[in-house]
């Protein structure tokens, strides 16, 4: 599904399955999506953040070859063991030629690769799956199924994020019943503040793990596409990449939902905190998140970051404090820091001026 093969655990599991030579069937649902939204401007362009995604898109249909392969295996069974190995290699590299060199990554991991298969042709898909189920042997199998997210519902097909998550909506038109906020969100305040600092400092770069829209980096990417890096759903890589950029004198802002930074905790500890590298973690969705559900609650970051050495944690109570903390984070250059803030809207200009006497003309403007 969405970005499920961009993280390391998928490869770790496939590597182990190939090593065990157990009967495992993996279905790769290749829908061309990483998360929401795919297509934000970044250093890699607007394509999904995955070299494997590019590779998958170039695969040609190999259904006729499957018949040849079955025949080749029967033919090879007539030979002694030593020759069987040669026949297997011929089979593998013939497949590589017929698929223009693609698909062999799965073969090298020990999988029998089948595909791509049209995931929207149910009759054909069921036949393929039945054949896979009934195939003899104990070698793990990977079935590459090509699908389109939102297929069959025009509003979803036309949506940039393919209706990744929806509120109440009208089925006929696809229009979602979203209430419009009267005050800026903390996410937008952060994004505008970071853009202003980046205008002044060319060393500022931003990294996210497939959540540019959710963290505000879609706005940063529009302004600075070559300094915005969407690594896909690969938080461990995002953290270590930020650490590496910090060693080269850049000022990385690593923008990840609070709950998803848990995936990169080992890297936060060993690659950032213990090295005292000035990586700036921006934790959106800190605290409870409402409709996003329990898996998205950012309720643990204070505990799992507060026990680490050399790391400063900041939590704003309003938009002005958030702006000031982004400015502080940009200037911290000898240790890591984190800024955590909630999902949703801030207090707004009137409340900030009336309750706190800020005397602001607008929210989100430095100075």
Name residue 134's beta-bridge partners: none
Walk across the sheet containing 280-284 and list its strands.
Answer: 228-230, 204-208, 251-257, 280-284, 337-340, 312-314
Burial profile 183-196: b = 16 or more Cβ within 10 angstroms, e = fewer? bbbbbbbbbbbbbb
3-state SS, residue 229:
strand
User: What is the C-alpha separation between 327 and 193, in angstroms, rounded?
Assistant: 8
3-state SS, residue 47:
coil
Q: Are 228 and 212 a contacting pair, CB within 8 Å?
A: yes
Active site residues: 149, 235, 263
Name residue 154's beta-bridge partners: none
Backbone angles phi, psi at 292, to 5 degrees: -65, -20
Task: Tell me the angle at which helices 319-331 and 349-356 cross, rounded to the nearest 10 degrees.
Answer: 90
User: What is the C-alpha separation between 272 and 243, in angstroms, rounded?
Assistant: 6
């Amino acid at each position: 599904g969405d970005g499920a093969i961009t993280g390391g655990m998928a490869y770790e599991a496939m590597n182990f399955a190939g090593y065990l030579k157990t009967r495992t069937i993996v279905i790769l649902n290749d829908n061309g999506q990483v998360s929401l939204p795919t297509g934000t401007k970044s250093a890699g362009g607007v394509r999904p953040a995955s070299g494997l995604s590019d590779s998958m898109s170039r695969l040609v249909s190999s259904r006729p070859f499957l018949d040849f392969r079955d025949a080749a295996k029967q033919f090879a069974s007539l030979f002694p063991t030593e020759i069987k190995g040669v026949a297997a290699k011929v089979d593998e590299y013939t497949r590589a030629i017929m698929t223009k060199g693609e698909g062999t990554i799965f073969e090298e991991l020990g999988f029998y690769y089948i595909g791509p298969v049209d995931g929207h042709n149910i009759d054909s898909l069921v036949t393929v799956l039945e054949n896979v189920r009934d195939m003899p042997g104990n070698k793990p199998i990977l079935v590459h199924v090509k699908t389109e997210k939102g297929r069959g519902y025009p509003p979803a097909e036309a949506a940039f994020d393919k209706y990744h998550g929806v509120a109440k909506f009208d089925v006929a038109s696809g229009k979602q019943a979203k209430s419009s906020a009267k005050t800026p969100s903390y996410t937008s305040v952060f994004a505008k503040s970071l853009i202003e600092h980046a205008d002044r400092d060319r060393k500022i770069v931003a990294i996210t793990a497939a959540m540019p829209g959710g963290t505000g980096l879609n706005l940063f990417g529009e302004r600075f596409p070559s300094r915005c890096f969407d690594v896909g759903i690969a938080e461990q890589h995002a953290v270590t990449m930020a650490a590496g950029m910090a060693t080269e004198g850049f000022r990385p802002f690593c923008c990840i939902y609070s709950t998803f930074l848990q995936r990169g905790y080992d890297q936060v500890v060993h690659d950032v905190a213990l090295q005292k590298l000035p990586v700036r973690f921006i934790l959106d969705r800190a605290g409870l998140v409402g409709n996003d559900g329990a898996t998205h609650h950012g309720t643990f970051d204070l505990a799992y970051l507060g026990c680490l050495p050399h790391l400063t944690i900041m939590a704003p109570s309003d938009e002005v404090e958030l702006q000031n903390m982004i400015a502080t984070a940009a200037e911290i250059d000898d240790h890591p820091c984190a800024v955590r803030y909630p999902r949703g809207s801030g207090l707004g200009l009137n409340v900030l001026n009336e309750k706190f006497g800020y005397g602001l003309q607008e929210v989100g403007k430095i100075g």
